[in-house]
Structure 1
Amino acid sequence: MSKHEQYILDLMKVPRMDAKLRAFLFKIKFNIQLTTEFRTSLNTVNSACDELRRSTKLKEIMKRILYLGNTLNQGTTRGAAVGFKLDSLLKLTDTRSSTSKMTLMHYLCKAFASKSPSLLDFHKDLVSLEAASKIQLKVLAEEMQAILKGLEKVKQELAASANDGPISEGFRKTLKEFIGQVEAEMTSVSDFYSVVCRNADALAIYFGEDPTRCPFEQVTMTILNFVRLFRKCDEENFKEEAKMEEVKGVNVN
C-alpha cells in the first residue's frame, strides 16, 4: 500500500471529517473575512457618519438651502420650515428659470462662488462618502451573523471531538488555540458593529429622517448624488462665465 493510500485510509478513520474540514476552512478564512473585509466596511461606515455630521461646510450649505426654500415659499405654510427632506436636495436641478437654462442648483453655486467660495469644496470633508454609499447595513448584519455562527460551529466541533481519542489530539490543540485567540477579537468587533449601527441610525435622525424609512444607504446615496450635481453645476457655471469673458474680450477687440 502506498503512502497516499494509507493517508486516505487514516483520514477515513477521523470522526466527522466534514465538520473538521469546515472548522479549518473557517479558521483559514477568519482573518481575511473579519479583519480585512468586515472591519474595513465598519470603519468606512463609521468614518462617513462622522464626516457628514462634523462637516461645518455641509451644515452651512444646508442652512442656506433651507433659507432659500423659505424665501421662495414666503407667505405660504411652507415659508417657515425648520428643515427639509433629504431628497429635496436632488430637486434643486428640476426647477429652471423661465428665461435661461439656470436651475436653482446653478443659482446656489453662483451665490456661494460670489459670497462664500470657501464652501464650494465641501466635498473634500466627505472622503468616505462614496465608498460608504456602496455598503448595505443589511449585508453587514448577515456577515456578522455568519461569522458568529461559524465560530459557534467551530466550538461545537471542538466539544464533540473530546471523545475522539488520540486521532483528534492535534486538531483539538490547534482549534483550542485559535478559539482562545479570536474570542476577544470577536467581542471587540461585535461591540464596534453595534456602535456603527447606532451611528448609522443617528445619521438619518441628524438629517431629520426616520432611519426605518430612510436608512443609511439612502442617506449616503442621496448626499453623494447631491455632491455630484452640485459640482457639475458649479463646473457648468465656471465654463459659462469663461465663455462670457471670452465673448467680452472679442467684442472689446
Structure 2
Amino acid sequence: MIPSGHPDAPKLSPLKQLHWSKVPAANTRKTVWDVSEESIKLDFNKQILDRLFCSKTNMSRTGTHSTLRNQDKITIVDMRRSNNIGVLLSKYKLTGPWVVDIINSMSDEHLNKELVTALIKCAPTSDEEQLLQSYTGSKNILSPVDQFLVEMLKVPKIRERLNCIQYKQSFDSLFEEIINGSRLVERCCQWLLKAANLKQLLHLILNIGNYMNSGTARGNATGYRLNCLLTLSNTKSLDQSITLLNYVAKIVSDRYPHLLITSDPLLEAASRIHWKELSNHLVSLQQGMMTVQKEVERQQSTVGMDTFTTKMNQFIKSRLDHLRDAANIIRGVEQLYDTVMKYYVEDYSSPEEFFSLLHNFMTMFKQAHLDNLRDMENDKAIRPKIVHKAERIMCQRSLSTTSLPRVSLNLAPQQEENQDTVRSSAAAAAAAVGSNSGSSIQTKSKGLIKNFKNIFLRKR
C-alpha cells in the first residue's frame, strides 16, 4: 500500500479542471504533440499539485485531511442549455423526484399546459441522454441541472410521453375552435343564399350602372363582379359634391327604405375566420392522433401497461369519433361555400375574403346613408338663418330708401295691373320711414314690408 504523501499516492480530493479541447490522437503523428523520449521524462511533484489545486479541502489544526465541502461541479450538457434549464428549474421550483412522480402518475392537477411546455424544454435530447447514461462517476459532483436530467431519465421515453401529454391537453380547445369556426361560416353561407334585400340592392346598382354605361362596351350588363362595390365611393358628381355611393344610398332611403341593409354581426364574425388555418388545425389533430397512437402502442410493447398508457388509450378511444365528426363538418361547409360562389358568380378561394368584401361594402353603404342624413340636418339648420338674413337685408333697404325706382317684376301680361299696387305698397313703406321715428317706425315698416311680400307672392 502506497503511504499517504507519496508522489504516486492517489489524490485525496478531485483537482480543479483545466478546460481545453483535446486534439484527436490520430492527428498528433509528426506534430508538436508526437510523443518523444524527452517528453516522457518530464515529471512534476504530484503531492504539491494535489495540495495547491485540489477543489476544496478542510484541514484540521493537526494538518490531517477532513471532509470535502462545496466541490466544483461537473457539467455534462452544453453550458448555454444548462443555464436555460436552470432558469426554468428556478422559475417553477422543480425537483427531479417530484417531476418523475407527477409524470408517472399522470397527475392532471399538477401537469397543466404551462408546466408541460416547460418540462418539454427541459427534457434531455437523444444526444444528452447518451452522454448522461454513459457517465459512471458520482452523481453528487454533477451540476444541479445534470442531476435533474439524470432523474428525469427514470421516466421511460420521457420526451415522447411529454409530447403525448401536450397533445392530449391541447386537443379539446383546438377541436372546439374548429367546430365553432365551421358552424359560423356555415350559418353565414346560409344567410347569404337567402338575403333577398341584398339581392335587390345589387340589382338596383346594376340598373344604375347600365344607365351610366349605356352606349359603351360596359353597358347592357346582366351582372357584375362584386369587387366593384368598393369603388362606388370613388365616382363623384361633376361638381364633386356627392359620390355615386351617396347617390345610391339616397335613392334607397327615399324610394326603397327596406333595402337600407347593414352588415350583419354574423357576417362580420365570419370574415375573421381564416378557413385555411382552420383546416390546417384539423390536419394537425389528425396527424397528431396517429403519432400518439403509434407511440402508445410502442410503449405498451416495450414498457408494458402503466398509468400513462392506460390513460392515453382511454383518451384515444374517446376522441377518434370527434375527429371524424370534425372532418365531416369541414367537408360539408366547403361544399356549401362552393354553392355560395356559384350563386354570386364569384371565385374567392377562401370564405373570409368574400365575407370581408361584403362586410366592407355594407359598412360603407351605412356610412353613406348616415352622411346623407347629416347633410340634410345641416341644410335644415342653415335654411332659417338664410331666410332671416334675407329679411333683415330687405328691412334695412326699406328703411334707407326714400324713393324707389320703377322696377319691372317680370309679371305675366294679365298681372301687369298689379304692378302699381306693389309699387304703391313699397312707396308707402318708404313714406312711413320718412315721417316716423323710434319704435313706431320699426313697427310700421315691418308691417308694410310684410304686406309687400304677401302681395308680391299672391300675384305671382
Q: Does 223-232 or 8-17 show the bigger shift?
A: 8-17
Greater relative contact order structure (CA < 8 Å, 6+ sep) = 1
Partner of residue 310, structure 2: 173
Partner of residue 52, structure 1: 192
Q: State whether structure 2 residue 216 is matched by structure 1 residue 216.
A: no
SS at match of 2:290: helix
Match of 1:110 among 247, 250, 254: 250
For residues 88 and 6 of structure 1, the distance between their equivalents in structure 2, rounded to whole angstroms, comes to 63
1:4–1:233 CA distance, 2 compared to 1 (3 A): closer
1:5–1:228 CA distance, 2 compared to 1 (3 A): closer
For residues 235 and 83 of structure 1, the distance between their equivalents in structure 2, rounded to whole angstroms, comes to 28
For residues 5 and 226 of structure 1, the distance between their equivalents in structure 2, rounded to whole angstroms, comes to 56
Query: 2:262·2:363 contact (CA, 8 Å) conserved in 1?
Result: no
- Superposition deviation, residue 89 in structure 1: 0.3
How well do the aligned residues superpose, as a CA RMSD in angstroms?
A: 2.2
| 1:25-70 residue CA offsets vs partner (Å, 9 max, x unmatched) | 11111111111x2222212222222222221111111111111111
Q: State whether structure 2 residue 222 is matched by structure 1 residue 82.
A: yes
Partner of residue 24, structure 1: 165
For residues 241 and 356 of structure 2, the distance between their equivalents in structure 1, rounded to whole angstroms, comes to 26
Q: State whether structure 2 residue 299 is matched by structure 1 residue 158.
A: no
Q: Structure 1: which 5+ residue stretches go unaligned?
A: none
For residues 19 and 6 of structure 1, the distance between their equivalents in structure 2, rounded to whole angstroms, comes to 14
Q: Percent identity?
A: 25
1:6–1:237 CA distance, 2 compared to 1 (3 A): closer
For residues 382 and 161 of structure 2, the distance between their equivalents in structure 1, rounded to whole angstroms, comes to 77
For residues 321 and 351 of structure 2, the distance between their equivalents in structure 1, rounded to whole angstroms, comes to 28
4+ runs deviating over 4 angstroms: 2-11
SS at match of 1:75: coil
| 1:162-199 residue CA offsets vs partner (Å, 9 max, x unmatched) | 21344x42222211111111111111111101112222
SS at match of 1:128: helix
Matches for 1:98-137 after TM superposition, within 5 Å: 98-120=238-260, 122-123=261-262, 126-137=264-275
Matches for 1:225-244 after TM superposition, within 5 Å: 225-244=360-379
Query: 2:184·2:266 contact (CA, 8 Å) conserved in 1?
Result: yes
| 1:116-171 residue CA offsets vs partner (Å, 9 max, x unmatched) | 11221x225x22222222222221222121111111111111211221344x4222
Q: Does 181-190 or 196-205 show the bigger shift?
A: 196-205
Which residue type is aligned with residue 242 of structure 1?
A: E
Match of 1:191 among 308, 328, 333: 328
1:98–1:19 CA distance, 2 compared to 1 (3 A): same
Partner of residue 111, structure 2: none
Partner of residue 65, structure 1: 205
Match of 1:200 among 337, 342, 345: 337
- Superposition deviation, residue 10 in structure 1: 7.5
Matches for 1:34-53 after TM superposition, within 5 Å: 34-35=175-176, 37-53=177-193
| 1:80-118 residue CA offsets vs partner (Å, 9 max, x unmatched) | 211111111011111100124211100110001001112
Which residue type is aligned with residue 224 of structure 2?
A: F
1:251–1:40 CA distance, 2 compared to 1 (3 A): same
Match of 1:144 among 282, 295, 298: 282
Which residue type is aligned with residue 86 of structure 1?
A: L
Match of 2:231 among 75, 81, 91: 91
SS at match of 1:83: coil
For residues 99 and 324 of structure 2, the distance between their equivalents in structure 1, rounded to whole angstroms, comes to 43
Which residue type is aligned with residue 256 of structure 2?
A: S
Which residue type is aligned with residue 200 of structure 1?
A: Y
